[in-house]
Amino acid sequence: MIQRYELNDLIRADNFIDGKWVPAASGKRFAVTDPATGEVIAQVADSGPADARAATDAAARALPAWRDALPKERAAVLHRWHALIVENADALGRLISLEQGKPFAEGRGEVMYGASYVAWFAEEATRVYGDLIPQQQRGKRMSAVKEPIGIVAAITPWNFPLAMIARKIAPALAVGCTVVGKPAEDTPLTALALVMLAHEAGVPAGVLNLIGASRENAVDAVKDWLEDGRVRKITFTGSTPVGKYLARESAGTLKKLSLELGGNAPFIVFDDADLDAAVAGLMASKFRNGGQTCVCPNRVYVQASVYEKFADLLTQRVAALKVAPATDPDAQIGPMINARAVEKIGRHVSDAVQRGARVLTGGKPLAELGPNYYAPTVIADATPEMQLSCEETFGPVVPLFRFNDEAEVIRAANDTPFGLASYFYSQNVRRIDRVARRLETGLVGINEGAISSEAAPFGGVKESGYGREGSKYGLDDYLSIKYLCQGGLE
């Protein structure tokens, strides 16, 4: 019988270290609020270096036994964790909506998406093969085996409070690493609930440790991990400046890093595209989580001959989106995460308008709904010098750029330091092959806007980072290869 919890039973506000719930050593706490109303949901432990160190100590003690457990024993624990997450999908989905703001259907969808990584890596845990290398010299046997890298520090963002941490913890635990983690200060509660379920699933004390911290204290807490030689790997999802900082600051102990950083995804609509399919694909990929995802299209390029028609079709769909609190069953877009996010969106829109763009729908905050709402927006006549062309807007704003030919749009699409996702719509098979090869991104959606899957390798190129999450490649980031050479055999 798998335990099913109510939302309130899942709310934990302490750190989880060495199998126990403990307050921060300083006794400090910080408030986590509902972005729809600004009301305080919980006062979470506000950790510093002492708490980070205690987590690492526990992870170090737990490492030998977990590393030496049979893969199928670790897999069994992960399978139980998966079952608990799925059984509690409603309550976890509500918790995501409460602290992050996305509509409940999306929150529940995120739970199932995050759970799919746990199931995937439970299965992959038993398939970490090495190689017997063909003999090179008589009397010598050479082989390569894969070993867990050691203690992993996981640092995650607020936009997918469950999925981002699940897809880091699951592969780490699958191969026998132990974990210390810090979720984003806006949304620590879902991660703490996930850890509570992991403990119930049988993850041994010390194998998985999670600390909360305000933005202010996170820097010193995480710094302890960056400088501690026992922590062998950092896995991070977040902004490019913070990713670069982590790489720089951890260089002293030469850790392995996986960095899933910012994007600035182009979405290209060629004149030979099925326009209805392109609009549907853009709606699905752009407005998920209110436009607050790193794979969201940020720049939409439409070929001149279909520009006005596409803009009309899109504007009708965007104007009909229902913006409401996550608790409204019809909500399609909830509040943005915080006031800082709304301010950035507003800044991008007014900069575009000042430089000659036209607002086709939206273009303003929806203050009547609450503090953090912004209207879904379509902007026509966008140009490369506008801020929304160079930076991720991270909100429900679609800027439409006009282009004339394929070479021009590929140049424009690649003219960014980022390289996470790109999308394009065309029905010409030769063009599909050409464009897919030339786009400089880690992920490419071809006539498809919803591309994420636990079976696919997720990750970027250029300043969008390195490392891959999910798929058969996702374990490699948590493994090191050891070469064994045995002599004297003849």
Q: Which residues of the chain form contacts with ligand ADP (CB under 6 A)?
A: 155-157, 182, 184-185, 215, 218-219, 222, 238-239, 242, 245
Q: Of residues 106, 124, 177, 294, which has the active-site annotation?
A: 294
Give the pair of three-digit tokens for residue 456: 């696919």
- Rank residues 124 and 185 by Cβ distance to ligand ADP and give the closer one: 185
Which phi and psi (to 5°) does residue 287 adopt?
-100, 5
What is the smallest separation between the CB atom of 273 and ligand ADP, expressed in angstroms? 32
What is the spatial order of strands in the sheet that 397-403 belongs to?
358-361, 377-380, 397-403, 297-303, 265-269, 421-425, 443-446
Residue that the structure tokens 């708490």 belong to: 51
- Rank residues 174 and 294 by Cβ distance to ligand ADP and give the closer one: 294
Q: Which residue is nearest to ligand ADP (CB)?
A: 238
What is the smallest separation between the CB atom of 31 and ligand ADP, expressed in angstroms? 15
Contact in structure between 179 and 478 (CB atoms under 8 Å)? no
DSSP 135: P
Alpha carbon 393 to its chain centroid, in Å, reads: 16
What is the smallest separation between the CB atom of 398 and ligand ADP, expressed in angstroms? 20
- Rank residues 164 and 378 by Cβ distance to ligand ADP and give the closer one: 164
What is the smallest separation between the CB atom of 274 and ligand ADP, expressed in angstroms? 34
What is the smallest separation between the CB atom of 293 and ligand ADP, expressed in angstroms? 11
Measured on CA atoms in the order 384, 385, 391, 395, is the torsion positive or negative? Answer: negative
What is the smallest separation between the CB atom of 18 and ligand ADP, expressed in angstroms? 22
| Calpha distance 104→95 (Å, rounded) | 9
- Rank residues 469 and 476 by Cβ distance to ligand ADP and give the closer one: 469
> Which contiguous run of DSSP H or E holds residue 247?
helix 240-249
| Calpha distance 330→228 (Å, rounded) | 48
Residue that the structure tokens 């102990």 belong to: 253
Cα first-last separation, the chain: 56
Q: Of residues 106, 185, 260, 406, which has the active-site annotation?
A: 260
Contact in structure between 44 and 183 (CB atoms under 8 Å)? no
- Rank residues 12 and 182 by Cβ distance to ligand ADP and give the closer one: 182
200 is catalytic: no
> Which contiguous run of DSSP H or E holds residue 141?
strand 141-148
Residue 386 CB neighbours (<10 A): 23
- Rank residues 80 and 288 by Cβ distance to ligand ADP and give the closer one: 288
39 is catalytic: no
The catalytic site residues sit at: 260, 294
